[in-house]
Structure 1
Amino acid sequence: MPRPRRSRWVWFQPQVTYFKPVGIPLAQLEEITITYDELEALRLKHLEDLEQKEAAKKMKISQPTFHRTIEQACRKIADALVNGKAIKIEGGEVKMVPVPGFGRGPGRGWGAGRGRGRGFGRMGIPPTKCVCPNCGYEEAKVRGIPCRSKKCPKCGTPLMGA
């Protein structure tokens, strides 16, 4: 029996998780899946211009594992582009890096006493609505505007993503 895979640390949460060729109905498309760790490897190597050793250290994996991850991601993306397939971003054994101001805590440090670990929740999927933790008021999440920057119109408490 193989040992369990270690979680890879992901520092980026994509806002868009699906790409498809224009003009082809979704029902006629094949779909490939890129995991969050494969996307993170691509981002660190090609957008952040980190060496493989540095990027692997940031993701808390070995350099050979990083190399295999990025090769697999490149192969999948090339297949999708050349053969006209849709790309879906989801899954993988990942840990989202905590965002300051969210999570458990006594009022100091990372948690800052706000929330109950709902920062990104649900395996890195962005929130779809903003909710007041006190009175339960809900409103639709607007892309690009963090829920915590809005206040509840009923009680004035900062909203949280849900």
Structure 2
Amino acid sequence: MPRPKRNRKVLSPPAFDAFLPSGTDSAGKEAIELNLEEYESIRLCDYDLLNHAEACELMHVSRATFARIYESARRKVAKAFVEGRAILIQGGDFKFEEKWWKCHDCGSVFNSPGRKKQKDCALCSSDYIEEYSSSAESYCICVSCGYHKKHTPGHPCREEKCPKCKSRMKKK
């Protein structure tokens, strides 16, 4: 049985959920899905100009794992650029150090130090906010009894115990 994946630490969510090409008709083409740890690897190496050793420490993964994540991300971005496809940034095995929130009125993404429940937007004071998560809904399901619950981003399903039968759960 393979060793379970460790959550990759992501410092902050992206400011957007998708990247769309301009000047082409990408509507008929399937979008490329870039998960948050792949986005983070590109941000750390290509934007923040960190080397692999520094980046893997920040993400709490081995250097070999970081290299695989980074290579996968670069291949996906290259494919999207060459083929004129949209890039969707969502999902993955990641965790945030702090809670992040997204405002639906002004579009800002902001964090909440100390993991407190945020009541309104830090920028525009709107109360139309929600905790940051990927746009795709996913669930944790118990393989023994079938119980399921909504997946909480940043908390892997495999670390959850079923409240009914105490078995391990997995992501659906």
Query: Same-fold call, TM > 0.5?
Result: yes
- What is the SS of the residue equivalent to 2:95? strand
8 Å CA contact retained: 1:148, 1:161: no
Pairing partner for 1:120 from 100, 103, 106? 100
Higher strand share: 2
Q: Tell me the alpha carbon deviations over residues 9-48 of structure 1, each in whole angstroms, 9 at most, x when there is no partner.
A: 0012112111222244454122110000000000001111
How does 1:37-56 map onto structure 2 within 5 Å? 37-56=37-56
- Once the 2 structures are TM-superposed, how far is the Cα of residue 148 of structure 1 from its aligned partner? 3.2
36 and 150 in structure 1: CA distance in 2 versus 1, 3 angstrom threshold: same
* Partner amino acid, structure 2, of 1:86: A
- What is the SS of the residue equivalent to 2:100? coil
Residue 161 of structure 1 corresponds to which residue in structure 2?
129
* Partner amino acid, structure 1, of 2:40: E
25 and 55 in structure 1: CA distance in 2 versus 1, 3 angstrom threshold: same
Residue 106 of structure 2 corresponds to which residue in structure 1?
142
Residue 58 of structure 2 corresponds to which residue in structure 1?
58
Structure 1 residue runs without a partner (length 5+): 99-118, 129-140, 153-158
* Partner amino acid, structure 2, of 1:142: C
- What is the SS of the residue equivalent to 1:81? helix
5 and 26 in structure 1: CA distance in 2 versus 1, 3 angstrom threshold: same
CA distance in 1, matches of 2:85, 2:106: 29
84 and 145 in structure 1: CA distance in 2 versus 1, 3 angstrom threshold: closer
TM-score computed with the length of structure 2 as normaliser: 0.62
TM-score computed with the length of structure 1 as normaliser: 0.65
Larger radius of gyration: 1
8 Å CA contact retained: 1:56, 1:66: yes
- Once the 2 structures are TM-superposed, how far is the Cα of residue 120 of structure 1 from its aligned partner? 2.1
Provide the aligned length of Structure 1 versus Structure 2.
120
- What is the SS of the residue equivalent to 1:88? strand
Amino-acid identity (%): 34
- Give structure 1 regions of 4+ aligned residues with deviation exceeding 6 angstroms: none
Residue 20 of structure 1 corresponds to which residue in structure 2?
20
CA distance in 2, matches of 1:145, 1:17: 11
Residue 112 of structure 1 corresponds to which residue in structure 2?
none
- Once the 2 structures are TM-superposed, how far is the Cα of residue 151 of structure 1 from its aligned partner? 5.2
